[in-house]
Structure 1
Amino acid sequence: MRTTEMTIASDFVALQGLVCVPDGARGIVVFAHGSGSSRLSPRNQDVANILQRAGLATLLFDLLTGEEHAHDAITAEYRFNIPLLGRRLSGALDWLRTQPALAPLRVGLFGASTGAAAALCAAAERPGEVHAVVSRGGRPDLARDALPLVKAPTLLIVGELDTEVIRLNQLAAAQLLCEHETVIVPGATHLFEEPGKLDEAARLATGWFLPRLV
């Protein structure tokens, strides 16, 4: 396993990222974190570890700069700015293509909370480049007009007790024209904090990504 800290130039800012590449990896999953989170999110890192053990590389990176993150913690100004988050995720995909060791890998996107909308926007913009999308406790409804343009197979994972987000995912799923599936995880709330529930979501994500990225 090779783990490297990276600085990614995207949308005219420098963003911090963490790339982990298992030996023999043939696919990479790029994470778009949710509201108020970062590449150091324990939940996303836990999911990334499970993907890595399955042989997939991962890229966790900050969608916001340190200054923006601090400002957003007070004002929530950036976390729902889906066009901004989508541009930064697309910039990270551009960066991947400049890295000789990473460029050959098939790309999947994993989005949580508002990051799911950014992932779907990036997938709609790059139909030949993104091969699979997974949303965990996401807000795909915020992708709006991008939803019918998504070509990548898309998995929506929602906690059973996250009733409002289930409704919003169902509305989004009705607009998807690509292969898609919605899975409700029994007993899970929005953050999948209950014992074993995050691991269950990670296993679902792994099962979705592997046949499409490897």
Structure 2
Amino acid sequence: MQTAKVMIPSDRRMLEGMLVIPDGARGIVAFAHGSGSSRLSPRNRDVADTLHQLGLATLLFDLLTDEESRRDLLSAEYRFDIPLLAQRLSCALDWLRREPSTALLPMGLFGASTGAAAALSVAAGDKSVRALVSRGGRPDLAQDALTDVAAPTLFIVGELDREVLRLNEAAADRLACEHRIEIVPGATHLFEESGALEQVAHLAAQWFLHWLAEAASGPVPD
């Protein structure tokens, strides 16, 4: 297992991240964290650990610089700027394509909350994204992109997160790609209930293993 702290360039800014590559990695998943969070999100790190155990590499990185994060805490200036977050995520994928250790790995995206909207926006324009998972996501913030998403998409939502579930169901109706909604029983938005996050990690891992392994076994379509 290779673990490295990395710096990702984006529009003259440097975004801090953590790249983990298991031996014989079968694909890589880039994480887009939610509003008010960072690469250190304990929930995303728990999901990433599950992916590592199953042979998938991960990139967790900050969508905002330290200064931007401080400003966002005071004014929420950046957390709902989906075009900005999508641009940062796109830069991270470009960086992964340039890195020798990850360039040939099929790529997936895992987005949480507003990060899911950024992931959907990126997937709509980047057909090299082969699978996408949204955890408690806000796909309504990526409405214009939904019909162009080609990557198989899994929405994971807590049963008790009723408004977000409604938003996910409405977004799923607009997708033309392979997609599914998985509802975690008894879970709220942050999946803090006993066993809830473990279910999220299991569902995400199985989705990525299926679609990234399929991508690795055949050519990427035009």
Asked if Structure 1 and Structure 2 have the same fold, meaning a TM-score greater than 0.5 normalized by the shorter chain, the answer is yes
Using the size of structure 2 for normalisation, the TM-score is 0.95
State the secondary structure of the residue aligned to 1:3. Answer: strand
**Contact 1:107/1:132, CA 8 A, preserved across alignment:** yes
**Contact 1:110/1:135, CA 8 A, preserved across alignment:** yes
CA distance in 1, matches of 2:92, 2:122: 10
Aligned partner of 2:181 in structure 1 is: 182
CA distance in 2, matches of 1:13, 1:212: 32
The one-letter code sitting in structure 2 at the alignment partner of 1:161 is: L
User: Any residues of structure 2 matched to 1:105-184 within 5 Å, and which?
Assistant: 105-127=105-127, 129-184=128-183
User: Any residues of structure 2 matched to 1:58-77 within 5 Å, and which?
Assistant: 58-77=58-77
CA distance in 1, matches of 2:185, 2:74: 33
State the secondary structure of the residue aligned to 1:97. Answer: helix
Aligned partner of 1:40 in structure 2 is: 40
- Cα offset for 1:11? 2.9
Aligned partner of 1:21 in structure 2 is: 21
CA distance in 2, matches of 1:164, 1:136: 14
- Cα offset for 1:212? 1.1
The one-character-per-residue Cα deviations of 1:127-152 (angstroms, maximum 9, x if unpaired) are 1x100000000001111110000000
- Cα offset for 1:70? 0.7
- Cα offset for 1:74? 1.1
The one-letter code sitting in structure 2 at the alignment partner of 1:186 is: P
**Contact 1:31/1:61, CA 8 A, preserved across alignment:** yes
Aligned partner of 1:98 in structure 2 is: 98
State the secondary structure of the residue aligned to 2:20. Answer: strand
CA distance in 2, matches of 1:28, 1:149: 22
**Contact 1:108/1:131, CA 8 A, preserved across alignment:** yes
Using the size of structure 1 for normalisation, the TM-score is 0.98
The one-character-per-residue Cα deviations of 1:99-126 (angstroms, maximum 9, x if unpaired) are 0011000000000000000000010010
User: Any residues of structure 2 matched to 1:44-55 within 5 Å, and which?
Assistant: 44-55=44-55
- Cα offset for 1:26? 1.9
- Cα offset for 1:13? 1.2
- Cα offset for 1:203? 0.3
CA distance in 2, matches of 1:162, 1:17: 29
The one-letter code sitting in structure 2 at the alignment partner of 1:61 is: F
**Contact 1:11/1:87, CA 8 A, preserved across alignment:** no
The one-letter code sitting in structure 2 at the alignment partner of 1:190 is: H
Runs of 4+ that moved beyond 6 A:
none
State the secondary structure of the residue aligned to 1:123. Answer: helix
Any unmatched runs of 5+ in structure 1?
A: none
| Corresponding pairs, count | 213
The one-character-per-residue Cα deviations of 1:149-202 (angstroms, maximum 9, x if unpaired) are 000000000000000000110111111110000111100000000111001011
Aligned partner of 2:219 in structure 1 is: none
Aligned partner of 1:57 in structure 2 is: 57
- Cα offset for 1:30? 0.3
- Cα offset for 1:12? 2.8
State, as a whole percentage, how many aligned pairs show the same letter. Answer: 66
The one-letter code sitting in structure 2 at the alignment partner of 1:47 is: V
Aligned partner of 1:206 in structure 2 is: 205
Aligned partner of 1:192 in structure 2 is: 191
The root-mean-square deviation of aligned C-alpha atoms, in Å, is 0.6
- Cα offset for 1:97? 1.0
